[in-house]
Structure 1
Amino acid sequence: MNQTYTYNFPTPIRFGSGVINELADYLKSHNLKRPLFVTDGIIAELSFFKKIKKDVEQTGLHVEVFTDMHKNPLKSDVLKGGDAYHDAQCDCIVGIGGGVALDVARAIVLRVNHKRDLFDYDDLIGGDKYVTEDVPHFITVPTTSGTGSEVGRSAIISEDDSKKKRILFSPKLLAKIVFADPMLTMELPAFVTAATGMDALTHNMEAYVAKGFHPMCDGIALEGISLISQSLEIATHKPDIESRSKMLLASLMGAVAFQKGLGVVHSLAHPLSSMFDTHHGLANAINLPYGMDFNYEGFEDRFDKMALALGLGSDNGNKVVSHLFELNEKLGLPTKLSAIGVKEEHIDALSVLAKADFCHPNNPKPVQLEDFKKLYKAAL
């Protein structure tokens, strides 16, 4: 973990402490002169972001910064970002941050040269066929170890009024290169580390049990689970470069693995972000034990392998759910929805949204409206 590496999967990744210092030279080598840095308002005020910006500007490049985005990104955020790109006459986009900033950055990449209504490009209605134009040069710089959006090809953006989530997808939206520097995650607060880490664990676990045949994703997911089991508690409470590096790798791996699909946990979590503006990682963390409990029967062999990856020993898949509850407690995260303001009267509305969500069709078991109600009630 003291070395720097380059590997390609699915896009070129520069990984290791200090690789962010290569960004300016990379931009110059590709004749890119006016990058739009897309990040959130909190990161924009942090010292490491200011240093990145200064280092790039000292090489003679002009940096424009866009930060106007919501905690759960909206269509209007993307449209404003597209205007900022054109107004500043930018020639590339650098997404710096966690899942929100990277989703907004990727959606802006799409927006720059694609002029239909943004949600005409929704992948769930076949909108990817309209992604026909060139897109700006796109670079991603993750600062959390959660979504793995830096290696993704899609962005989840919500409607402004209904908060319904839409998926913008195209292979064209893959970053040209990722600068994955664990040093940028070293100062994350404990809560953000824990919540984003549980998001990464959810990605790996749901991908592994998702229906369908994809042995490469299965192997990646199990290794991601193993890396998280070795490092998440340390990264949360006593962070060091090894734990931060393992978490960043596991996050990248989870995003690669979930091209196989996600499942019931994400469908439980998404409505919480829509209705309560809940942090996505926290929503996943609370629901993960309940969703995995729902999936256990009939898939014991998969749970046995996940138990081994989690360090629980052989043939101990029946211990996975209790381990997840204990992990949340050790990380200082809640295990009940009531802790984030959910009440009995919210369950019907949450369940309708969950049933309409796009993730659970890949769950290993079918999930009906009544199942969502039971799961929310169990988690309340």
Structure 2
Amino acid sequence: MIDWNQSFSYSFPTNIRFGKGVIQELPDFLIEQDVSKPLIVTDSTVASLPFFGKILRQLDLKGLEPEVYDKMHKNPIKSDVLQGKDFYTKTNRDSIVAIGGGVAMDVARAIALSINHHRDLFDYDDLLGGDQYITEHVPILVTVPTTAGTGSEVGRSAIISEDDSKKKRILFHPKLMAKIVFADPELTMDLPPYITAATGMDALTHHMEAFLAKGFHPMCEGIALEGIRLISGSLVNATHRPDLASRSKMLIASLMGAVAFQKGLGVVHSLAHPLSSLLDTHHGLANAINLPHGMAFNYEGNESKFDHMAFAWGLGSQAGQRFLEGLSEINRELKLPESLSDIGVTQDHIPTLSQLAAADFAHPNNPKTVTQTDFEILYRKAL
């Protein structure tokens, strides 16, 4: 049995300090790295919370000189990154600390890339072979997650949208990985139930899609099943009856999800991404609503894999169909909206959403081919 009052160190895929209170180690780590002027990248909500002010005070007490950058959209766009780069340069920063959820992590990672790489930001788009241009030094990046969903703190990619078209672009390179992650479950304790639920369903989606994704990667599949097991025993409690154990398990599951989906994602993320870019829907919520429908699309031909996921969820053997049918009930138990119409989507949105989904980067790894017509049908079912 794990004692959740202890702290732990491990490396996979980067160095992680996990446990209650590890955030207090951040100032000394920066000093050990011989940096003193970190740019703290976060969103405006996190910047207003008491724990964030405490982190800044701890940095000040150690003689460090932090500056805060929190100008970013709920779904980050290129101009957010460019403004951050200008702020980093004008304030003479020497390192970056990302504190928050996936948005802060993506913006921080893209800023880090841009400091010594001066081509147009989207020249580095991984889907266009842009990783070949990532050749220069990247500033020290430290990540501090405050939500348990994207797992972006352990990732090596940033998803940034074009300002006008809102098309999502992906920046990816091992140099963009954090030097260290300080994963302190206490920082997630005050998350409201709605955000806890939505980000938790994001983590579940990562594990399920990674497990189902095409290709051969048994390590990622094993991580995905363990992540599903952790979420099954902690998401509801973390949402409605939060304690250190449930928050710790969700934070670990979130980290693991970002490792697992190195194998790939799928149809659910391609359904969700256009909702975020076009309608500014919270990414985790978009995944939660579409998860039952995307998984129903994938079920036929993948029954044995659904049985494995059901077993990890605690439903016993050969319970894949029951697990699939229970996905909507999970949303109800978490008190999340169950349909796209509940969040303002109309029939008029579907053609554009379907076109964006068909162009999305996630579904080529889906175990079944998804056409634009399939996306239209799935959106209508979710409506």
Same fold (TM over 0.5): yes
| Displacement of 1:15 | 0.3
Equivalent position of 1:356 in the other structure:
359
Moved over 6 A (4+): none
Task: Report the alpha carbon displacement of residue 312 of structure 1 after superposing the two structures with TM.
Answer: 1.4
Task: Kindly state the Cα deviation for residue 311 of structure 1 after the two structures are TM-superposed.
Answer: 1.4
2:249 is matched with 246
Taking the aligned partners of 1:179 and 1:280, their CA distance within structure 2 comes to 23
1:281-328 Cα distance to aligned partner (Å, 9 max, x none)? 000000001000000001011000000111111110011222110000
Q: Which residue of 1 aligns with 2:140?
A: 137
Deviation at 1:347, TM superposition (A): 1.0
Q: Does 1:232 align with 2:238?
A: no
Could you say what secondary structure the match of 1:260 adopts?
Answer: coil
Structure 2 partner of 1:47: 50
Distance 1:313 1:344 in 2: 39
Whether the 8 Å contact between 1:199 and 1:284 is mirrored in structure 2 is yes
* Distance in 2 of aligned mates of 1:43 and 1:318: 40
SS at match of 2:318: coil
Of 178, 183, 201 in structure 2, the residue corresponding to residue 180 of structure 1 is 183
The one-letter amino acid of 1:146's match is G
What TM-score, normalized to structure 1?
Answer: 0.99
Aligned partners of 1:51, 1:195: CA distance in 2, in Å? 26
How many residue pairs align between the two structures? 380
Equivalent residue in structure 1 for 2:79, among 73, 76, 81: 76
Report the secondary structure of 1:319's partner residue: helix
Residues in 1 aligned to 2:323 and 2:364: alpha-carbon distance in whole angstroms: 23
- Contact kept? 1:228, 1:246, Cα under 8 Å: yes
Counterpart among 344, 347, 370 of residue 344 in structure 1: 347
Paired position in structure 2 for 1:220: 223
AA in 1 matched with 2:254: S
Partner of 1:305: 308
Once the two structures are TM-superposed, the CA of residue 29 in structure 1 deviates from its matched residue by: 1.1
Conservation of the 8 A alpha-carbon contact between 1:290 and 1:321: no
For structure 2, the 5+ residue unaligned runs are none
Equivalent residue letter for 1:289: P
Distance of 2:174 and 2:204 partners within structure 1: 25
Offset, 1:334: 1.3
Distance 1:333 1:46 in 2: 24
2:337 to 334, 343, 347: 334
User: 1:222: Cα distance to partner?
Assistant: 0.3
2:233 aligns to what SS in structure 1?
helix
Matched, 1:196 2:189: no
* Identical-residue share of aligned pairs (%): 68
User: Within 2, Cα distance between the matches of 1:87 and 1:298?
Assistant: 56
1:7-46 alignment, distance < 5 Å: 7-46=10-49
Shift of 1:353: 0.5
Task: Determine whether 1:86 maps to 2:89.
Answer: yes
- For 1:313 and 1:348, the matched residues in 2 are separated by 40
Matching residue of 2:154: 151
Structure 1 portions without partners, runs of 5+: none
Q: Is the 8 A contact 1:112 1:135 kept in 2?
A: yes
CA RMSD of aligned residues (A): 0.5
Paired residue type of 1:324: L
Q: Does residue 123 in structure 1 map to residue 136 in structure 2?
A: no
SS for the counterpart of 1:42 is helix
Residue 165 of structure 2 aligns with an amino acid whose one-letter code is S
- Aligned equivalent of 2:258: 255
Please list the CA deviations of residues 54-80 of structure 1 after superposition, one character each: whole Å capped at 9, or x if unmatched.
Answer: 001111110010000000000000000
SS of 2:16's equivalent? Answer: strand
Residues 1:100 and 2:103 aligned together: yes
Q: CA deviation at 1:3?
A: 1.1
Q: Is the 8 A contact 1:15 1:179 kept in 2?
A: yes
